[in-house]
Structure formats: C-alpha cells, structure tokens
DNA sequence: GAGTTTCAGATGACGTTGTCACCTCTTCGA
DNA sequence: TCGAAGAGGTGACAACGTCATCTGAAACTC
C-alpha cells in the first residue's frame, strides 16, 4: 500500500493541516501538540518525529502561509490584463485579506519568534536553522517581498521600487494590523482599509512622478 | 507605618513593574505569575488579589504603555517651539521607538487579546470589562489616537485629519512592526524607518494640499 | 476597648501543557 | 534473511494558570 516514507509524509501534512486549523480557530494558545496529534490521527509524541517542537511546527505553518501569499502576489504580477496600479492594489489587499480572514496566521507571519534581544539589542528572527541558514519561512517571505517589489517597480520604476516598495508594504501591514487589533474601529477615524489603500496607491504614484529626478 | 490600602497599592505597583520587566526581558511567555510574584516579594497567588488573571495583568501593563506613548505625543503637540511637520514626525517616531526599545510591549499594545472570532467573524478586542465598558487600556489607546489626530489636523486641516491621520498612524505601526519582525533587514529594501517617516510626512503634506478641494 | 468584619496574602491542590526517555513494530537495504 | 532505521506509542516530569481554602492583621462597629 503505502511505503513508510509516504505515510510519514501524509502524517506530516496532517500535522500541518491540523495545526493551521487550530491556529485559525483559537490562536497559538489553542495549538496544542496533543490536539494537533489527535486531529492528525496520532498521539502527542508523534509530532516530534517531524518537527523539533511546537515552535518549529508553527514556523512551518508560517512558511506555508507566506507561500500562499507569495503565490497570490505572483499571480497578480503575472496577470497581463491588469494595469500596474491594479496589481499594486491587489498586492496590498492580499496582505490585508490574510489579516481579515486568518488573523491568527497573520500575526504569526509577522511574529519575531524566539526573541533574543535584551534592552537595546535588536530582536532578531529565529526563523533560521542551527547553522543560521534561512529556513523555508524566511525564503517564502523573501519571495513575497520580491514579487511585491516587482509590482511596485512596474509602477514607479526600478530606482524608487525599494523605498516606495518598503513604504507600501509596511503601510499595508500597518493597516492590516490595526484593523485586526480593532484600533481602526469606532468613530475616531471614519475610514476603511480600502480607502487607505486607494490613497496610498494614488500618493505613491504622484510622489514617484514628481520626485523622479530628485 | 503603612495602612493596609497603602501596602496593597505598593504591591499592585510592584506586580505591574515586575510584569513589565519580565515582558521586556523575555516576552509574554516569560511573564509567569510565579515569577511576577517573586519579584514583587509575594507568592504566586497574590496577583489574583489585584488582577483577574494573567491576561488582566498584561492588559494593565498595556494600559500603562499606552499612557506613556500618549504622554509623549501630548508633549509633542503642546510644544510651541516645534513646527507642525516636526510634531508629526515626532509622533510617528514615538510609536516606532516603542517598537525598538520595548518590542514585546509594542506587540502587546497591538494584540487583539482574547480573540473570539471564528472564521469570518472579526476578531474583537477583549480589552473591555464584563459589561463591555472600555477599560483603562482602551481609554489610554484612545487618548493617544486623539493626540495623534490633533497633530495631523494641525498639518493637513480638520477635514483630512481623520483619513490621513489613520493613514499615518497605520503606516507608522507597519514600519514599527516590520522593523521589529526583521522584514526590513537585508539588502532587499535598503531603506530605514526614518527615511520612510520622512517620505510619509512629505507625501501627506503634498497630497493634502493638492487634494484640498476634492 | 472588645468583638466582628474584611481583605491581602500564603498554601495546597488540580488539570493542562511542552518535552524527553524509552519502548515497539514495521519497513527498508544488503 | 537479518540487522538497521525510523515512525509512532507510552510513561513521566517540571512548569504553568487557576481555584479553594486558610491565616493573620488591619479596619470598623458598638
């Protein structure tokens, strides 16, 4: 029937699916190795055959999350029917949509895991393996950033793609995060994420034109 | 010497300080009620006399964090020697500085605590009391937002203060968050948070002038 | 000023969790 | 056919949040 490597791969996939499911349902606190194992049809110790521990499992979930967002942005960039501004709008919304649809996953994507910094020392990503080489999560996030930057470059040119790309990406992240945390609710701001995205696209288009030679 | 109410107030303060200290040192995971109690000179059960539980304690820490940021922005707004654009720059940097100096506290400030949403239902703040009235954390965050909005209004006018204020606040949050999570590192973007803040201030100033009548 | 109430804090206990050591049993390679 | 390898199961342990209960001193009442 199934070779050992195959069934192990199936189990690993089930574990990842169960973890992602539990994450969506109840956040990181709800992702219990025991419950993950139960949903995957194994016991509590089995996940340790596939992941170093809970953090490692969640990091793998984050990697797949980044891959999905990267795929979506790549599809936007490669769509020949879309004008450049629409591609950018779509890329910004892609990020915000994850925050809306999978808020817990979204927070995981931007969580500096295993913070080492004390005081002034910066908090560093621990998404790297023992030897320091980037893992799947870092690579997947990097691919998203490359696709995003390419979309921005098509709109504002290569020269400004880095700076304005960073501005757009961080802004989208901020919109998603504050919408998620509820700080955009109420009568205080009276604006929506979509309106903010539109303003961003317009402002960057204008600014990149007027400051093209500065 | 000390009346009972006084010593209780001292204990409460010690608990908050210990929790904030542990949060800065090792993140929310490191904030153990046992260790909090130990640092405050009491035992593990004592915090329950002052807070409903760990979440409640961390919410109180978040409230004080918001108060400090609010104080800083208020001081900027009230400073008569600062031009309007510098006040805005300072307000944006105030948020980013918290992310740099106290990354764990920063994440706590924007954490939608006690997520209830399942699936499409939005994740809601559980920073409200049993009756649903906003707690100190919500009020402190609201005051920060009011001060921030006032600073923006002085630069772009009352009419645009809401929309551009939300844009600036969310963007600053995104810059802080992505700097914190390490996604701005490396050769990919080659820009700094300060440069992004400058661009934001310039773009919003320009946009608010050119679109004043639209 | 004696008796009662109140409440901050201490203590013991319980269930849950992440993690490890150890065991079993199937599958793969020679 | 036999040994190695590795996926998975099981027992155990420490740490954690939380609660019920107890204690002792301050605060209040008469």
pLDDT in the model for residue A205? 87
pLDDT-derived band at B206 (thresholds 50, 70, 90) equals confident
pLDDT(A61) > 70: yes
- Cα separation, A186 vs A167, in Å, equals 26
Helix (H) or strand (E) holding B139, with range, is: helix B136-156
- Cα separation, B111 vs B114, in Å, equals 9
Q: Which two tokens stand for residue A112?
A: 């500096």
Residue B213, burial from CB neighbour count under 10 angstroms (0-12, 13-18, 19+): exposed
Q: What is the pLDDT of residues A110-149, one digit of tens each?
A: 998 433 333 223 333 333 333 334 578 889 999 999 999 9
The predicted model gives A17-22 an average pLDDT of 98
B134: phi then psi, degrees, rounded to nearest 5: -60, 140
| CA angle, residues A166, A198, A176, in degrees to nearest 5 | 60
Total length of chain A:
214
pLDDT(B148) > 60: yes
Q: At what angle do helices B193-210 and B136-156 cross, to 10 degrees?
A: 60
- Cα separation, A74 vs A92, in Å, equals 13
Helix-, strand-, coil-residue percentages of chain A, each rounded to 5 = 70, 0, 30
pLDDT: which is higher, B31 or B186 = B31
Chain mean position to CA A49 = 26
pLDDT-derived band at A17 (thresholds 50, 70, 90) equals very high
Chain mean position to CA A175 = 14
Measured CA to C1', the nucleotide nearest A42 is D8
pLDDT(A76) > 60: yes
Domain boundaries, chain A: 1-51, 58-111+131-213
- Cα separation, B204 vs B165, in Å, equals 9
pLDDT(B209) > 60: yes
A41-55, A197-211, B118-132 — most confident range: A41-55
pLDDT(B154) > 70: yes
Q: What is the pLDDT of residues A177-201, one digit of tens each?
A: 999 999 998 899 999 999 999 999 9
Question: What is the value of pTM for the model shown?
Answer: 0.91
Domain B1-51 shares a fold with domain B58-111+131-213 = no
pLDDT(A77) > 90: yes
A33 CB less than 7 Å from any atom of strand C: yes
Q: Which CATH class is domain B1-51?
A: mainly alpha
* Closest to A170 in 3D by CA, of B78, B179, B30, B22: B179
* Closest to A116 in 3D by CA, of A127, A103, A131: A127
Distances (CA, A) of B46 to B9, B12, B30, B34: 13, 10, 18, 9
Q: What is the pLDDT of residues B80-111, one digit of tens each?
A: 999 999 999 999 999 999 999 999 999 999 98
Interface touch B171/A166, C-beta < 8 Å? no
* Closest to A94 in 3D by CA, of A203, A204, A172, A162: A172
| CA angle, residues A63, A196, A109, in degrees to nearest 5 | 10
pLDDT(A40) > 60: yes
The separation, in Å, between residue A4 CA and nucleotide C28 C1' comes to: 9
Q: Is B181 on the interface with A (CB under 8 A)?
A: yes
Measured CA to C1', the nucleotide nearest B40 is C9
Classify domain A58-111+131-213 by CATH architecture.
Answer: Orthogonal Bundle (1.10)
pLDDT in the model for residue A120? 27
Q: Is A188 on the interface with B (CB under 8 A)?
A: yes
pLDDT(A2) > 50: yes
The separation, in Å, between residue B7 CA and nucleotide D28 C1' comes to: 19
The predicted model gives B137-157 an average pLDDT of 95
A120 CB less than 7 Å from any atom of strand C: no
Instruction: Return positions of chain D under 7 A from a protein CB.
Output: 6-12, 15-21, 26-27
Residue A142, burial from CB neighbour count under 10 angstroms (0-12, 13-18, 19+): middle
The separation, in Å, between residue B162 CA and nucleotide C26 C1' comes to: 66
User: What mean pLDDT, rounded, does chain B reach?
Assistant: 88
Q: Is A165 on the interface with B (CB under 8 A)?
A: yes
């Amino acid at each position: 029937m199934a070779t050992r490597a195959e069934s192990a791969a199936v189990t690993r996939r089930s574990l990842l699916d169960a973890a992602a499911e539990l994450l969506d349902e109840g956040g990181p606190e709800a992702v219990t190795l025991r419950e993950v194992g139960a949903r995957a049809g194994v016991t509590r110790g089995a996940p340790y055959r596939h992941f170093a521990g809970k953090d490692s499992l969640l990091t793998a979930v984050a990697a797949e999350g980044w891959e999905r967002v990267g795929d979506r942005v790549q599809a936007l960039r490669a769509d020949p029917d879309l004008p450049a501004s629409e591609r950018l709008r779509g890329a910004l919304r892609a990020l915000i949509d994850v925050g809306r649809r999978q808020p817990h996953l979204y927070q995981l994507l931007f969580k500096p895991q295993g913070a080492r910094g004390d005081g002034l020392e910066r908090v560093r990503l621990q998404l790297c393996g023992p030897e320091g080489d980037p893992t799947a999560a870092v690579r997947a996030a990097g691919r998203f950033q490359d696709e995003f930057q390419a979309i921005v470059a098509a709109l504002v040119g290569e020269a400004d793609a880095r700076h304005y790309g960073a501005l757009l990406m961080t802004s989208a992240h901020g919109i998603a995060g504050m919408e998620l945390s509820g700080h955009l609710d109420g009568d205080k701001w009276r604006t929506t994420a979509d309106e903010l995205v539109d303003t961003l696209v317009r402002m960057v288009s204008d600014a990149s034109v007027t400051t093209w030679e500065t």
